[in-house]
Amino acid sequence: MRQLFPAYLDPVQPAEVYADPPAVRVNMISSADGAASVDGRSGGLGGPADREVFHALRAAADVVLVGAGTVRDEGYGPSKTVLAIVSRSCHLDWGAPLFTRPGARPIVITVATAPESERARAREVADVLMAGEDTVDLRQAVGELTARGHHHVLAEGGATLNGALLAAGLIDELCLTLSPHLVGGASRRIVAGAPSEVSRDLVLRSACEEDSFLFLRYAVGSSNDSRKGG
Ligand SMILES: NC(=O)c1ccc[n+]([C@@H]2O[C@H](COP(=O)([O-])OP(=O)(O)OC[C@H]3O[C@@H](n4cnc5c(N)ncnc54)[C@H](OP(=O)(O)O)[C@@H]3O)[C@@H](O)[C@H]2O)c1
């Protein structure tokens, strides 16, 4: 991989590019036309360099925050990095390798209204963190993760979770892989469900390239509202 910005470096290691993680970093891949998945999964957009970046970002994180939809759709497996799964329903496949094979014990973040039977099943295979009544209060959830020593959160999507993080003003950094594909179709973008008034400006921190993939690291800046109001 070579770095194009802020300085030209060839080669550069992903671990160098993505050092000094902020409190909450989001990592997503998108096609050049904005699709976040192909046939319901993101794998069709990736490549070897993207996988390297994925692993470098995980290595720099204390915990991976992920939506239950992504865990189900992408068939998440066990990980050395702690996985914290956000689920309102608390309905996950408790017999899946993620919960039964060796790896860091996952955390399930759910709400008071989730069925007690599911919460009891979750407690057998994971730590259960309650944050909110009907909807996971992500600010509270991130606060509880920090209190457990997880200071650097890597959010891996999907779009619904990203929308909730954006709406809560919790995203400090976006690591976006721009995949050199035009996929068409009706796939979602990388953020869904957040009202447009929560939009944020981004400031480019670094840009790298390999095999026509672009690896863009953005700091999340101020709300666009302040500009509109001014
Ligand atoms: N391009 C990429 O980099 C990338 C990355 C990740 C995923 N994806 C793709 O994105 C798709 C999945 O995204 P998605 O938006 O459908 O799902 P998602 O964001 O992964 O998960 C949505 C689910 O997470 C839970 N959730 C999220 N926010 C919540 C909140 N504030 N309170 C309570 N529960 C909350 C709910 O779980 P319950 O249903 O259990 O209540 C909700 O149904 C898949 O196609 C996947 O392949 C792409």
Could you tell me the CATH number of the domain that includes residue 132? 3.40.430.10
Same domain assignment for residues 168 and 137: no
Q: Is the CB of 70 under 6 A from ligand 1?
A: yes
On whether both 87 and 199 belong to a single domain, the answer is: no
Domain boundary among 95, 116, 151: 151
What's the gap in Å between 163 CA and the centre of ligand 1?
9
Q: Provide the domain count of the chain.
A: 2
Instruction: Give the model's pLDDT for residue 196.
Output: 82
Residues 159 and 136 in one domain: no
Residues 26, 140 share a domain? no
Ligand 1 close to Cβ of residue 163 (< 6 A): no
Question: Does ligand 1 lie within 6 Å of residue 155's CB atom?
Answer: no
Contact 122, 85 (CB under 8 A): no
Whole-prediction pTM: 0.96
Per-residue tokens: 141: 């959830």
Are residue 131 and residue 168 in the same domain, yes or no?
no
Tokens encoding 72 = 């189900």
Q: Is 156 in the pocket of ligand 1 (CB under 6 A)?
A: yes
Ligand 1 pocket, 157 CB below 6 A?
yes
Using the atom order of ligand 1, give the atom closest to the CA of residue 89.
41
What's the average pLDDT block by block, 10 residues per block, for the chain (230 residues)?
98 97 98 95 94 98 98 94 98 97 97 98 98 98 98 97 97 98 94 88 97 98 54
Distances (CA, A) of 24 to 62, 196, 219: 10, 21, 11
Residue ranges making up the domain that contains 179: 1-61+154-230
